[in-house]
A and B are shown apart, each in its own frame.
Chain A
Amino acid sequence: MSLEDASLDIVPGELLAVVGENGAGKSSLMNVLYGLYHPDAGTFLMDGKPVRFKSPRDAIAKGIGMVHQHFMLVPTLTVAENVVLGREPTKRGLLDLDRACDEVAATAKRFGFQLDPRARVDTLTVGSQQKVEIVKALHRGAQVLILDEPTAVLTPQESDELSQVMRGLVAQGRTVVLISHKLKEVLGVADRVAVMRRGRTVAEVRASETTVSALAALMVGEGSRGAAMTGVPATAVTATHLTGTGTTGAAAALPPAPVEPAAASTGPVVLEAKDLRATGDNGRPALQGVSLTVRAGEIVGIAGVDGNGQRELAEVLTGLRKLDGGEGTLLGGPLVGLTPALAKARGVGHVPEDRLARAVVKAMTVEENVALGRHRQPPFARGPWVDFKGRRERTEQLLTGYDVRPNDPTVALQALSGGNQQKVVVARELDARPELLVVVQPTRGLDIGAVAQVHERLRDAKARGAGVVMVSLDLEEVLALSDRVYVLYEGRVTGHFPRKDLDERELGRRMLGAEASHG
């Protein structure tokens, strides 16, 4: 369930920001507006008249344009070719490129963009590519422009420039809907802010009448509902009481786990990291000086909004990503120069985020996957040979112990459901008795039963004396399991809370980059 009774009014000529945590339903709501998703229930009015979009084509025809977080551009074509794609001007049946360039240049000039229509898109910076996307939407007559997390890929300078662009569009009478979770940024540019939480729109406030802290509180569920509602003038687009199912998998609310009053772990330090720096896949700094300590026998939660360096941190700890700087000790060896093989040899277990890409070979059998990573040692190997009997026996034990269905070591892993695949991965990693276990989003997409089981196993690992680093975007999961929590924001630790000081509200604020409100 990703939308549950969400309502939104979009006023012509304003800049409306929609904010919320990951999975709050922002993108789902926008995809409904853009005709990508179809609501199960609810009404959708434009200029007072009910409308139904079968596809984005209908939305575009009605003057709604969307700039996705991942650009939909053909890199080897020019700016003009990309903009006119799908509605190319022709001369005697042939593409009229000159006219296309003139038209695109005219559109760009009208809205104050500096773009060379003849430049190839793959030669442009990310910021310029985003402008191409915006011009593309405007060129198709967009009156309402939806921007999905537009600053996620931009440098601070480019972000500032984008803010000016958005204000410029509004000044020319266009309507801009900005989806973001960067509250400071939102307050600097928006006229009005709609806050979403768990598929509902919980508040609409004037940007001038609120603060980062107040918004953060609304996002994570504090503050009285509707208290900040303002009167809304004549509406252009009204979506009321939409419900629907989006792409985010199982997000059913978990019952809060029993909180054992655990004393802080005094076990030996298994990981001590100082000032870690690393570069993300997009070439931008992902870790900008992260320091953390993990002891045996504790679960350390890493909280944060998606894309703030958590993934890269997990990769550094498992030897999958090179450090640019910083140092540390991991299970008695240096963190610098760590490789996956070294990490494994020292006793690091890893349940990665992207199971199919990293944790398993889906075309291999379940037993072959259980051996993966430990395939050189007994009971999985005898000398240079695969030990079929030992592997089968161990796999059967694990499948039974973890209640994996079907309980058959010889089927291809891809024949299992996602939850059962994850059980196989967790079983394999814990069976190796790791001294440090790094888990990323361990329960994403699992049903409630599987979630409970995975959580129990993580607690077991802790009780056995393993240090556990758990990265999760699900704040409830972090709160339910962690003995301590580090908050990451833009590659830095912005908060560190022992269990007794855990405060959901404060955690939420730190995740969004707000300053500490006390201490």
Chain B
Amino acid sequence: MGERARQVLPSVLSVLLALAVCWLLIAITRDADTATRAYVQMLWGGVGNWPAFLDGGSATSVTRPLGEAAMKAALLTLTGLSVAVAFKVGLFNIGAQGQMIWGALAAALVGAHVALPGALHVPLALAAAAVAGAAWASIAGVLKLKRGVHEVISTIMLNWVAVSLVDNWLVIGPLRAVAEGASSITGTAEILPSAQLPRLLGDSSRLNLGFPLALAAALGVWVWLTRTRSGYETRAVGLTPEAARAAGIPTLWRAGGAMALAGALAGLAGAVLVLGTEGRYPGSLGAPYGFDGIAIALIGNNHPLGAALAAAVFGVLRAGGTRMQLLGVHKSFPELIQGFALLFVAGRMVWLALLARRQKRAQAQAQAGVEVPRA
């Protein structure tokens, strides 16, 4: 079994097993036919109803679902990358949600209150979000590296601080949009059109610049980790900190830098949400994409491209989940699938042991040249 297969196979098998288990759950509570049809609906809801489109249906039947999936995949990719990057340096970033909240707020404020041409406005808003997320993550980073505060504890708590400060105070208090006619607006002011992420497939699809941006981020992180000196140093610090120190690598800077980058990526997720779909910081950020990032990173084996791939899969499943309701299956099933997949991926070592045993048996067969009875 090659090294690549060892990295990829457990995740793939886990997702497939999770799909099978959830299919079984629907089949038990309803019947097998419904389960299968619900899965088909989920697929059409995620990647588009290609049969209908090819039969002469409208392009919207494909572009709209793809847009929904891409939008969710973009957010999951960025928060998944956030968790994965921190993990590369040995830190467990549970705080992507809080970092995303600050990123979303920064993007909303720059988007609404700075007047610039589009070519500058979007980059500025994105940069502001990245900086805000990085700053919030760096609180946990500095606490960890200077005072030894465990990052799991500090990032979890900083999530709640972010929720309290932003959702429970700023956006319903000082930063609340002044109502113009409308009676009850929650959240911040609407961003200017120049700050909106351009839509790529027309108005009927919510596919926007956020998706290619997230993919570029994944690619960028991967190139950084594997091809640059500082990425190499970061991995060394994460794998064997003492050896990295002995080799003259500035371990604190690398660890702190990775944590800040993790925050920046989560902050970008907030910006993509605000600039791409919400149009302002809503009364509450709602969907816990930051927490989902943990699952995405783990299912993606903490590999940047793996996280992007896992995000694409679950983006599709989630976008399609709503269509399951047509058959009376609850739309939260994709989340259940994600949960099961995470559970199974946690048993990575079990998968590897099973795969190794299979391989051994195959080798024994090949060597003996005879059929070995299955144990």
What is A's interface to B at a CB cutoff of 8 Å?
A: 318, 320, 339-345, 350, 352, 356-364, 368, 371-373, 375-376, 381, 384-386, 388, 412
Q: At the interface, yes or no: B332 with Cβ under 8 Å from chain A?
A: no
- Knowing A376-B229, A384-B230, say if A340 contacts B245 (CB, 8 Å): yes
Are B246 and A361 neighbours in the complex by a CB distance under 8 Å?
no
Residues of chain A within 8 A of B239, CB atoms compared? 361-364
Residues of chain A within 8 A of B227, CB atoms compared? 385-386, 388
Can you show 13 pairs from A to B with CB atoms below 8 A apart?
A: A320-B246, A340-B247, A340-B248, A358-B243, A359-B243, A364-B235, A372-B236, A375-B233, A375-B247, A384-B228, A386-B226, A386-B227, A386-B232
Residues of chain B within 8 A of A361, CB atoms compared? 235-236, 239-240, 243-244
The distance from the CB of B228 to the nearest CB of chain A, in whole angstroms, is 5
A368-B242 Cα distance, complex, nearest whole Å? 16
Residues of chain A within 8 A of B228, CB atoms compared? 384-386
Number of B interface residues in the complex (CB < 8 A): 21
Q: Contacting A360 at CB < 8 Å: which of B3, B226, B243, B245?
A: B243
- Knowing A364-B235, A364-B239, say if A384 contacts B244 (CB, 8 Å): no
Residues of chain A within 8 A of B3, CB atoms compared? 412
A182-B251 Cα distance, complex, nearest whole Å? 39
Q: At the interface, yes or no: B250 with Cβ under 8 Å from chain A?
A: yes
Are A344 and B248 neighbours in the complex by a CB distance under 8 Å?
yes
Are B248 and A341 neighbours in the complex by a CB distance under 8 Å?
yes
The distance from the CB of B190 to the nearest CB of chain A, in whole angstroms, is 41
Residues of chain A within 8 A of B243, CB atoms compared? 357-361, 372
The distance from the CB of A508 to the nearest CB of chain B, in whole angstroms, is 32
- Nearest residue (CB) in A for B233 is A375
Residues of chain A within 8 A of B245, CB atoms compared? 320, 340
What is B's interface to A at a CB cutoff of 8 Å?
A: 3, 226-230, 232-233, 235-236, 239-240, 242-250
A412-B229 Cα distance, complex, nearest whole Å? 19
The distance from the CB of B90 to the nearest CB of chain A, in whole angstroms, is 12
A375-B235 Cα distance, complex, nearest whole Å? 13
Residue among B230, B242, B245, B246 having the largest count of chain A Cβ atoms under 10 Å:
B246
Residues of chain B within 8 A of A342, CB atoms compared? 248
Secondary structure at the A interface, as helix, strand, loop or mixed, is mixed
A115-B135 Cα distance, complex, nearest whole Å? 51
Are A359 and B229 neighbours in the complex by a CB distance under 8 Å?
no
- Nearest residue (CB) in B for A344 is B248
Residue among B228, B233, B247, B249 having the largest count of chain A Cβ atoms under 10 Å:
B247
Are B250 and A368 neighbours in the complex by a CB distance under 8 Å?
no
Residues of chain B within 8 A of A375, CB atoms compared? 229, 232-233, 247
Secondary structure at the B interface, as helix, strand, loop or mixed, is helix
The distance from the CB of B239 to the nearest CB of chain A, in whole angstroms, is 5
The distance from the CB of B227 to the nearest CB of chain A, in whole angstroms, is 5
Residues of chain B within 8 A of A320, CB atoms compared? 245-246
- Knowing A364-B236, A364-B239, A372-B236, say if A358 contacts B229 (CB, 8 Å): no
Residues of chain A within 8 A of B246, CB atoms compared? 318, 320, 340, 350, 352, 358-359, 373
Are A368 and B232 neighbours in the complex by a CB distance under 8 Å?
yes
The distance from the CB of A386 to the nearest CB of chain B, in whole angstroms, is 5
Are B235 and A372 neighbours in the complex by a CB distance under 8 Å?
no
Are B242 and A357 neighbours in the complex by a CB distance under 8 Å?
yes
Residues of chain B within 8 A of A360, CB atoms compared? 240, 243
The distance from the CB of B303 to the nearest CB of chain A, in whole angstroms, is 14
Residues of chain B within 8 A of A376, CB atoms compared? 229
Are B242 and A358 neighbours in the complex by a CB distance under 8 Å?
yes
Are B248 and A384 neighbours in the complex by a CB distance under 8 Å?
no
Are A381 and B229 neighbours in the complex by a CB distance under 8 Å?
yes
Residues of chain A within 8 A of B242, CB atoms compared? 357-358
A364-B240 Cα distance, complex, nearest whole Å? 10
The distance from the CB of A439 to the nearest CB of chain B, in whole angstroms, is 13
A372-B233 Cα distance, complex, nearest whole Å? 9
Given contacts A341-B249, A359-B243, A361-B239, 19 further A-B contacts (CB under 8 A): A320-B246, A341-B250, A342-B248, A343-B248, A352-B246, A357-B240, A357-B242, A361-B236, A361-B244, A362-B239, A363-B240, A364-B235, A372-B236, A372-B243, A375-B232, A375-B233, A386-B226, A386-B227, A386-B228
A361-B245 Cα distance, complex, nearest whole Å? 11
- Nearest residue (CB) in A for B226 is A386
A414-B250 Cα distance, complex, nearest whole Å? 24
A385-B250 Cα distance, complex, nearest whole Å? 18
Are B247 and A373 neighbours in the complex by a CB distance under 8 Å?
yes
A384-B244 Cα distance, complex, nearest whole Å? 18
Residues of chain A within 8 A of B248, CB atoms compared? 339-345, 373
A182-B341 Cα distance, complex, nearest whole Å? 59
A388-B243 Cα distance, complex, nearest whole Å? 21
A373-B233 Cα distance, complex, nearest whole Å? 9
A371-B230 Cα distance, complex, nearest whole Å? 13
Q: Contacting A385 at CB < 8 Å: which of B229, B236, B244?
A: B229
A227-B18 Cα distance, complex, nearest whole Å? 76
Are B229 and A384 neighbours in the complex by a CB distance under 8 Å?
yes
The distance from the CB of B88 to the nearest CB of chain A, in whole angstroms, is 12
A360-B240 Cα distance, complex, nearest whole Å? 8
- Nearest residue (CB) in A for B251 is A340
- Nearest residue (CB) in A for B236 is A361
- Nearest residue (CB) in B for A372 is B247
Residues of chain B within 8 A of A372, CB atoms compared? 236, 243-244, 247
A368-B227 Cα distance, complex, nearest whole Å? 11
The distance from the CB of B222 to the nearest CB of chain A, in whole angstroms, is 13
Residues of chain B within 8 A of A371, CB atoms compared? 232
The distance from the CB of A199 to the nearest CB of chain B, in whole angstroms, is 33
